[in-house]
Structure 1
Amino acid sequence: MLTPEHLHALRNLPLAARQAAEGLLHGAHASRRKGAGMEFSQYRPYQPGDDLRRLDWRLAARSDRYYLRESEIDTSLTVHLVLDATASMNHQDDNGLSKLDYARLLCAALAYVATQQGDAVALTVLHPAGLQHLPPRADPRQLPRLYHMLETLRAEGTFPDRSTLAPLTARRQPGLIICLSDLYEEQDEIMRLLTRLRAASGDVLLLHLLARNELEFSFRGAVTFQDLETGRTLQLDADQQRSAWQTHLHEWLRSTATATRRQGFDYYQLSTAEPLDRALREFLRQRTTRMA
């Protein structure tokens, strides 16, 4: 798998999404199952209890054997991508890649994989000024629309309030919701949203994005940190505070994972320095479980 830096350096989101996903999709089974659908697939011998309306009487007359016509019917899923595009997603790792850059690549790759599986894909971008929403579709023109929306978005402001989010939670559409966020919040507003989405739509896969320099606290010496959403600043000696930072961070990550799974979400922590394949494999695993 290519690194996120290499994919981002392509400056071509459709190409990056395809390159990230193609190796993963190699050998993957198509999203179809046998049944009484519209597209003919094969014959199989008649068995007692089978629907006689599916019997091929012309073949029986020619061969004196009884066969049923089996068809393939599509098994598709509605995949709803929900992307946190608040200002904290502008945080950059040491490689120059921001959380938003990584989320943009991952959303594009997830949409590409879902489309290849025959799924309908939707995208909602969370902004404080309002929601950007692309309704679900399963046609070839959906990916270019989605790529354009991802390429032009900017991260800004704080997490939208409940009234702004109301149109999103009012939609009752069964499917798989995949939320990409750094979970930077003031008072559990992201968790409350996901709880309402799960009640309205079904399963929720939460992809928690963190930069490697956050996880490792790789800063050195005297550092001034600025809260990207409030503008507040904090000055400290990174070398002296590293141990305390990491202890606090690991406690928060542990409690976050526990709380989200208790709510019934599937939670995965991702570093913006790692390839996209782990998140893509988890999507395919969840999809296979739902389609079984």
Structure 2
Amino acid sequence: MTDPLALRAEAEHLASPMPTLLAEAEHLATTVILGEHGRRRAGLGDTFWQYRPAQDHDEARLIDWRRSARSDSTFVQDKEWQIAQSVLLWIDRSASMGFTSLKSGETKGHRARVLALATSILMVRGGERVGLTGLRLPPRRGAQQIEQMASILAEDETTEYGSPATDGMLPHSRALFISDFLGDLSGVEDALLRAADRGVGGALLQILDPQEEEFPFDGRTIFESMGGNLKHETLRARDLKAEYLERLAERKDRLAHLARTAGWQFHTHHTMQSAMSALLWLFGALERKR
């Protein structure tokens, strides 16, 4: 299991203005925050959107006691501006994301977690509310929210491949899905359809290891999934390269098409590349278009 404190520290390092290497990225993030992406506004918004059950993190002052008096539960009013300022993230933590061929040992899952936290840190600094899809961590601001997110993201899942969760995705909010997207894409398609129905815009970030992009295998090779449930042995791995690369290209094209259809953006990032390049792309992709 990844150490949540170490994960938080690396994400903070990636999102901070120092060292000098990160100064340009911090300047870009500040420009985005001061523009359309993260304008601070007074108050919580005026237009009522919906009632929702109160969560543990909701302050007592936010509870609508008149509505709550009519039932056995407590309720909070969601305002339109609050929803519009919310960004929900789904980060694939399945076994597939544990793969790496790099000498540094950095896995796809580790890069995905760091990018998710770095993006969230910068958004919170700009006045945004961030959370995770599902009902475990609804969107909220503050350093404590980032700490809770780091703790949850440090947990691994036992499934071979991940599929996006869409519970808790607020209407007219934004969302970010980060995965290798090497499993069944039907879950991604369903998630994007649900997002489009709710007016949710967002981005898909695919993270791949260099070996998954290049297929540098030759001769006798045993391919085994990270979860150990899938296995294939071949005596002539090179003969599979052309077909593999063709199918990978088809998968990227399908992901790009699904994203365009839902009004989202799609990008592929490799773990050998700078994490900062992906962070800057994410900020541009998640900027609200008005």
TM-score (norm 2): 0.70
Separation in 2 of the partners of 1:9 and 1:144? 12
For 2:257, the equivalent position in structure 1 comes to 258
1:122 has 2:125 as partner: no
Identity of aligned residues (%): 21
For 2:26, the equivalent position in structure 1 comes to 25
**Structure 1: 5+ residue runs without aligned partners?**
1-7, 39-73, 125-130
Contact 2:159 2:227 in 1 (8 A): yes
Contact 2:171 2:199 in 1 (8 A): yes
Selected match of 1:93 from 101, 113, 134: 101
1:84 has 2:92 as partner: yes
Contact 1:182 1:209 in 2 (8 A): yes
1:197 has 2:195 as partner: yes
Separation in 2 of the partners of 1:9 and 1:147? 9
Query: Could you list the per-position Cα deviations for residues 124-156 of structure 1 after superposition, in whole angstroms to 9, with x for gaps in the alignment?
Result: 3xxxxxx572111112321111122222x1132
Alpha-carbon deviation of 1:277? 2.1
Structure label with greater radius of gyration: 1
Selected match of 2:120 from 111, 128, 134: 111
Selected match of 1:138 from 122, 130, 141: 141
For 1:172, the equivalent position in structure 2 comes to 170
For 2:276, the equivalent position in structure 1 comes to 277
Selected match of 2:7 from 13, 16, 27: 13
1:133 counterpart SS class: coil
Separation in 1 of the partners of 2:153 and 2:131? 12
For 2:224, the equivalent position in structure 1 comes to 226
Separation in 2 of the partners of 1:276 and 1:221? 33
- Structure 2 letter corresponding to 1:14: R
Runs of 4+ in 1 over 4 A off after TM superposition: 8-11, 158-162
Aligned positions of 1:152-163 closer than 5 A: 153-158=155-160
Query: Could you list the per-position Cα deviations for residues 151-194 of structure 1 after superposition, in whole angstroms to 9, with x for gaps in the alignment?
Result: 2x1132156789xx5xx446534311000112133361222122
More strand per residue? 1
Number of matched pairs: 237
2:156 counterpart SS class: coil
- Structure 2 letter corresponding to 1:20: L
**Structure 2: 5+ residue runs without aligned partners?**
17-21, 44-81
Separation in 1 of the partners of 2:230 and 2:10? 36
Name the CA shift for 1:271/1:233 in 2 (closer, same or farther; >3 Å): same
Contact 1:10 1:16 in 2 (8 A): no
